[in-house]
């Protein structure tokens, strides 16, 4: 048996030979058919389009389309804005905490100083009782925790540029309950407050003054100097 291969690529048998078995013919055809075939690799799964809501930064920048680059830039700008807003809010909260609680000139600082003065004053102890059992708190509210009750504070500036701070709070002792009032003045050009008055009112009792600038002023007005010597009227 003689196999003849023509240039056209077809395989035939010489006329005087018997035909090839069917299996061999199929193999020859398959071999010839696969000579000019190029295998196309299968493509992987397509990625999702990047948007401002699903971008996790895994897709490299150079693989993004123009629209996807805009989406990523928008998302990053939004995140940056949130960070800036967070820093600003933290700064504002820190400022108010310092000015209202930690600053030496805060209302909380003067409230604590006034309460200490009341606990050490003999006249207050006679009406309120044991100093260790005296408690102070702000305005009456439904909150059962007295320490959480707000301290009533009023601020104003007069026509001469003096700053005024007025506090009002309550004191409780084993014997009685009273109300305390504080008026502080920071003169124009000065850095700290001075007492104008600090007094405690207990129902049915005379007012107890711990500070009274008016009394000091009247007593000082009775003094005068002559020839370098202080004289009292």
pLDDT over 90 at 208, yes or no: yes
Q: Which of 4-18, 104-118, 167-181, 214-228 has the lowest mean pLDDT?
A: 4-18
Would you state the CATH architecture of domain 107-224? Answer: Roll (3.10)
For position 52, what pLDDT does the model report? 79
Higher-confidence position of 153 and 47 = 153
CA distance 105 to 12: 111
Percent of the chain with pLDDT over 90: 34
Q: Which residue do the tokens 């389309």 mark?
A: 65
Higher-confidence position of 215 and 184 = 184
pLDDT over 50 at 83, yes or no: yes
pLDDT over 50 at 229, yes or no: no
Span 6-30, pLDDT tens digits? 555 545 545 555 555 555 455 544 4
Span 108-151, pLDDT tens digits? 889 999 999 999 999 999 999 999 999 998 876 665 555 556 78
Question: Up-side HSE of residue 200: CA atoms within 13 Å toward CB?
Answer: 26
CA distance 6 to 10: 6
Question: Looking at residues 60-80, what average pLDDT do you find?
Answer: 86
- Tokens representing 86? 């967070």
To the question of pTM greater than 0.85 for the whole model, the response is no
pLDDT over 90 at 167, yes or no: yes
Pairing of strands 223-226, 208-212: unpaired
The residues pairing with 164 across neighbouring beta strands, listed in sequence order, are: 156, 185
Cα torsion 123, 129, 131, 135: sign? negative
Count, residues in the chain? 233
């Amino acid at each position: 048996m003689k196999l003849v291969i023509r240039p056209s690529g077809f395989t035939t048998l010489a006329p005087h030979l018997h035909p090839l078995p069917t299996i061999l013919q199929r193999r020859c055809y398959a071999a010839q058919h696969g000579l000019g075939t190029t295998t196309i690799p299968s493509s992987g799964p397509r990625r999702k389009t990047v948007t401002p809501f699903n971008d996790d930064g895994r897709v490299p920048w150079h693989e993004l389309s123009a629209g996807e680059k805009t989406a990523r830039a928008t998302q990053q700008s939004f995140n940056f804005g949130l960070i800036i807003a967070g820093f600003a809010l933290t700064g504002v909260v820190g400022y108010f905490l310092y000015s209202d609680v930690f600053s030496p000139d805060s209302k909380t600082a003067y409230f604590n100083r006034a309460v200490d003065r009341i606990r050490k004053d003999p006249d207050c102890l006679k009406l309120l009782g044991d100093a260790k059992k005296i408690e102070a708190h702000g305005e009456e509210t439904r909150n059962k925790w007295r320490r959480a009750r707000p301290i009533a504070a009023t601020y104003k500036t007069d026509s001469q540029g003096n700053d005024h701070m007025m506090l009002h709070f309550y004191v409780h002792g084993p014997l009685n309950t009273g109300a305390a009032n504080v008026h502080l003045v920071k003169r124009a050009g000065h850095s700290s407050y001075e007492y104008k008055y600090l007094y405690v009112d207990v129902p049915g009792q005379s007012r107890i003054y711990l500070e009274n600038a008016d009394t000091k002023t009247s007593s000082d007005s009775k003094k005068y100097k002559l020839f370098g010597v202080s004289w009292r009227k």
